[in-house]
Amino acid sequence: MDRQKEYKSENKMKDCLAYFHLSPVWEKVLKGFREKYISYGRFGGKVILKNLKPTDIEELEGFFGKSFHSQKSVTVSSEKFRQALETSRYKEITPECLLENFFEEPLLGRQEQKSLREQEKERIWEIFQRDYEGTPVETALESLRSIVKDNGSQELAKWDKMLRLGAEIYNNLPYRSTKMYLAVFAAMRTGNPHAFDIGTADGNFLYQIIQMDLEIRRITVETSAIFPAYKRQKSYLLAGIMLDDVSNYTMLYQVQAVKKMEIIIKVWQVLRKNSILYRFLLQCLQNGMHSIVPKMKYILWKILRFLPCFVEKKKQIIRKKHICA
């Protein structure tokens, strides 16, 4: 008997779903009540239907037993819908059961959804912790979690993916054993040499992980008003990652630039003190380095013989005794 009742109930539900799938207007009605349920946590509220076709009007009139002709919009209340369903041949089916079967997913209020999401989030976090137990990132998990924040609306699978990417980056920062170029590091971690390019989302994420690592190691990288990129470049280098900017630049190391009175320019003092390689445009030499030190008019020409990239331009540059600012 129980199986027979169950069979009849299944057939009744199939018939009911077939009926409510006949007209597009019912999807609007049921979708509206589903949204109300999510907000209220119960079946309630009203659904306002606009821009209805004549066939939609006829469908509503047949179900509710009421005339809606000459109306620009129709308001369907939860009470009227429940009453109409109870007086139909589908009286055994509740509105809540209809909504679940129509949309083929559990009917949950916003608070229930939030609670289930938090449970799933904690489950993901526990698995993540177990997977990285005994690795360098184990002692930095809470710091990593503060970087990879969940905004409450993104898919948890994406959150899990970013956590794991952050853990892999941290565990494999090159400074522990070697140094490598940024493109090489990106290719090893993601298969894409441009994945961590500066200015990209993942590039910014990498920089956050590097800053987290430096903080854990209690290393402070000072900023430079003269060279805004100084902090980023040194931070990458401390993590074992070398930035490889390909352009019309050469690299100068421990170079002095002086005025007539042999006063060392402050900018070069900063470079030499910190033993930092600085990108130096050939055009800056020819144009008087106006983009770096506007008042500098002389440089030590002896450095030219040590710069292979200037060999072809050497004769042209030497003919100029002064560099015009």
Each residue of 257-282: pLDDT tens digit? 444 434 344 444 444 454 444 444 44
The count of structural domains within the chain is 4
| pLDDT at residue number 308 | 46
Structural domain ending residue among the three candidates 126, 145, 168: 168
Whole-model pTM: value is 0.56
Structural domain ending residue among the three candidates 220, 245, 270: 245
259 versus 245: which is more confidently predicted? 245
**Together in a domain, 64 and 161:** no
| pLDDT at residue number 24 | 92
**Together in a domain, 312 and 294:** yes
Q: Which of 58-62, 289-293, 313-317 has the lowest mean pLDDT?
A: 289-293
Which residues fall within 8 angstroms of residue 222, CB to CB, at 6 or more apart? 231
**305 — pLDDT class (breaks 50, 70, 90):** very low
Does residue 324 fall inside a structural domain? no
Q: Averaged over 162-183, what is the pLDDT?
A: 94
**Together in a domain, 7 and 78:** yes
What's the longest Cα–Cα distance across the chain? Answer: 109
Report the percent of the chain where pLDDT is more than 90. 51
**Together in a domain, 76 and 98:** yes
Each residue of 124-152: pLDDT tens digit? 999 999 999 999 999 999 999 999 988 87
Structural domain ending residue among the three candidates 150, 168, 186: 168
The CB density around residue 233, as the number of other CB atoms within 10 Å, is 19
Closest CA to 181 of 242, 255, 250, 261: 242
| pLDDT at residue number 317 | 52
| pLDDT at residue number 111 | 82
| pLDDT at residue number 147 | 94
Computed over every residue of the chain, the mean pLDDT equals 79
Q: Averaged over 201-227, what is the pLDDT?
A: 92
Q: Supply the DSSP symbol for 275.
A: T
Does residue 325 fall inside a structural domain? no
| pLDDT at residue number 175 | 95
Alpha helices (H) along the chain: 2-20, 24-40, 54-64, 78-86, 95-103, 110-131, 141-147, 156-171, 182-190, 201-216, 230-238, 266-274, 282-286, 314-318
Domain containing 36 equals 2-107
Residue type, 123: R
| pLDDT at residue number 3 | 54
